[in-house]
Structure 1
Amino acid sequence: MGLTDRQRELLTSWLPSAEIVQDHSWGVIGTLVLELVQDGDRYIAKAGDEADHHLARELRAHREWLHPWTSRGRAPQLVHADPDAKLLLTRYLPGQLVQGSPYEWTADTYHQAGELLAAFHQQSAVPDAEYEAIENGKTLSDLAGAHRIDPELTERLHAIITAWPTPPATLVPTHGDWQPRNWLIDHGTVRVIDLGRADLRPAYTDLARLAAQQFRTEPTLDPAFIEGYGKDPREPAAWARTRLREAVATAVWAYQVGEEAFEQQGHRMIAEALAEPAL
């Protein structure tokens, strides 16, 4: 995928003499992430393809929810955006990726990440009587699609999910992909990137990916995170439901995009979620 003609026109109008110096795109989904330099200043441009639905979420996060982070230099500042063209431009945020670095396994990283997430979550809270039913529907739709979950297990999962209660939920601004691949570390300070999955959800959903990965590998990171966050938001029954939904979504999505290692993680997550006593 490359930039569309309209995206190129907009970038040229925003940064007339900029040079693209690095492509940070992930390569699995159709989003380009380009680092540009103009007059010594560095920027990040994000460009979505026709199927993209992440840029709108990211732009909403920049416009409505990022102040607790940007006011402290902990998230990138928006410079320009065109939602119709699926293009946004932010100032470059310095730091190295936490994932794959020694900081991925240090308690202070997670204490800071907990503090940052608490400030993000505490901005607003809205009740939603339909959230649980809608999320159940998404998981059942995943199970009805293409995947490699065993047929007998698929039937069992379907039965479990259709029997779940659907109590009201409280929704807050969430990052949606809260994990070290979306954190930077700069001289000991944690910063946040990639708001493409930001949306209103229950607070505990932002802990699901950490629980399946880093908290599982190094259990001491979980209490460090909660100490920074302030109070554990994981009510046992709701947490068990979200872990199973996340597990199914991981296995199905990874299969559909050909990420076999991630797919296997999804199958392992399903087994572990089913072992939850609250399920």
Structure 2
Amino acid sequence: MNPPLPSPTDIWDRAEMAWLKDVFGSFSVEADLSWGIQGIQVTKIDTTRGPVVVKSGKKWVRPDAEGEQRALDPEPNPHNLREIRAYTQWMPQHNDLAPQLIAAEPRLGILAISFLDGDLVLGSAQVENPEVWQAAGETTRRFHGEARRVTSSFDGGNLSLLPNRVDAAEKGAEWLPTDPNLRSRVMAVAETARAFLRTAIPRELPLYPTHADNSPRNWMMTPQGFRLIDFGRAGIRPRYTELDFAWGAPGPCREAFMNGLGVPTDLAAWDEHERASCQLYLLAQYFRSLEWAWEHGDHGFYSEVLNRDETIHQFSTV
């Protein structure tokens, strides 16, 4: 027997309730679709417009520049703010790429989108279907559109972060694996990073609106076709950042996704600057993702990140 659904006032605060009533009038809670990480609340509600998904979340208290004290005033959850930005700034209206945005309030970090009648690819028989991965790549490429700017700032950010992350690993950070064999693999990546940093320079690259959390858990097959969901990591980045999860996918799936995205499947065919930039990104993300997964107790993601060392070493041999 399913547990009883919470009442609306248990989910949303007074300001959020007022916003929902202003947008929808009367409504009722139908299902809790939350995934239990980062305090993001995902709720299916029934309205006079039909079923709607509401994304809200705990207010986030932003660390200050020193990383010690915290700001006094909580801010809306950045995950939701990124999704609102993706819908309002980059997603075409009446799109066939994702759910439709119905309404959003950045000050509250809350948004309402259309409910998709379909099946999540993760956990379905389609999870390793190359045709689905091809559709995911093609849909993502359409979301990218034209490059928004060409800059070296993306590399610059990773170059400033990577040395500190390597230092932390070499000093025995608490997020390192306890298993000696796994720890040695992480330290091998740290050695690769040290060697890379000796000659690394920031590269100018075109940056696009990216989804950046591209995996079957954020893909849906609907009667109308393939759809992307959850733009909580969306941002302006190089297109290769869409490959985070594809690197560890079965070969036919990875190649289908890359073909759809318009990225060569052979690393040797990549532009030299883009390849070097991607290697830098993979190194920086490797350590940060291990730390994030450890902090949030996401053991599955932690194992997934550990296995990205093979891809990192492949870049070193091109």
TM range (shorter): 0.7 to 0.9
Is 1:64 the counterpart of 2:117? The answer is no
In the superposition, the TM-score normalised over structure 2's length comes to 0.77
What displacement does 1:198 show? 0.6
Give the letter for the 1:109 counterpart: V
Q: Of residues 79, 99, 102 in structure 2, which corresponds to 1:54?
A: 79
Partner of residue 156 from structure 1, selected from 169, 175, 191 = 191
Give the deviation of 1:75 after TM superposition. 1.0
Match of 2:264 in 1: 232
Query: 1:40 and 1:201, CA in 2 relative to 1: closer, same or farther beyond 3 A?
Result: closer
> Is residue 97 of structure 1 aligned with residue 120 of structure 2?
yes
Residues 117-266 of structure 1 aligned to structure 2 (within 5 Å): 117-143=140-166, 144=168, 146-148=174-176, 150=183, 153=187, 156=191, 159-160=194-195, 162-163=197-198, 164-187=200-223, 189-212=225-248, 214=249, 218-232=250-264, 235-266=274-305
The alpha-carbon deviation at position 141 of structure 1 amounts to: 4.4
Residue 254 of structure 1 and its aligned partner are, at CA, apart by 0.5
Distance 2:306 2:163 in 1: 16
Deviation at 1:90, TM superposition (A): 1.2
1:269 aligns with 308
Post-superposition Cα deviations, 1:106-159, rounded to whole Å, max 9, x if no partner, equal 121112112111112223331112211202333444453652154982863662
How big is the shift at 1:197?
0.7
Deviation of 1:272 after TM superposition, in Å, equals: 4.4
Partner of 1:13: 22
* Unaligned ranges ≥5, structure 1: none
- In 2, Cα distance between equivalents of 1:58 and 1:20: 22
Give me the whole-angstrom Cα distance separating, in 1, the residues matched to 2:317 and 2:203: 15
Q: CA deviation at 1:172?
A: 0.7
Q: Classify the secondary structure of the residue corresponding to 1:176.
A: coil
- Looking at CA atoms only, which structure, 1 or 2, has the larger radius of gyration? 2
Q: Distance in 1 between matches of 2:263 and 2:315?
A: 21
Cα deviation, residue 188, structure 1 = 7.5
SS of residue matched to 1:100? coil
Contact 1:132–1:166, Cα closer than 8 Å, also in 2: yes
The letter for the 1-side match of 2:257 is F
Aligned equivalents of 1:146, 1:166: Cα separation in 2: 30
The 1:23/1:221 distance shift into structure 2, 3 A limit, reads: same
How far apart are residue 231 of structure 1 and its match? 4.2
CA separation in 2, counterparts of 1:84 and 1:161? 42
Distance change (3 Å), C-alpha of 1:224 and 1:188: farther
Letter of the structure 2 residue corresponding to residue 207 of structure 1: L
Aligned pair in 2 of structure 1 residues 155, 246: CA closer, same or farther (>3 Å)? closer
Provide TM-score, normalisation by structure 1. Answer: 0.87
Q: Which stretch has the larger CA shift, 229-238 or 194-203?
A: 229-238
AA of the residue aligned to 1:85: L
Q: Structure 1 CA distance, aligned partners of 2:218 and 2:88?
A: 19
* Pairs aligned (count): 273
Question: Structure 2: which 5+ runs fail to align?
Answer: 1-9, 61-76, 178-182
CA 1:275/1:72 → structure 2, altered by over 3 Å: closer, same or farther? Answer: closer
The one of 91, 94, 109 aligned to 1:86 = 109
Q: Aligned in 2, Cα 1:188/1:78: closer, same or farther, shift over 3 Å? A: closer
RMSD of the alignment, in Å?
2.5
Q: 1:209 to 1:41 in 2, by over 3 A?
A: same
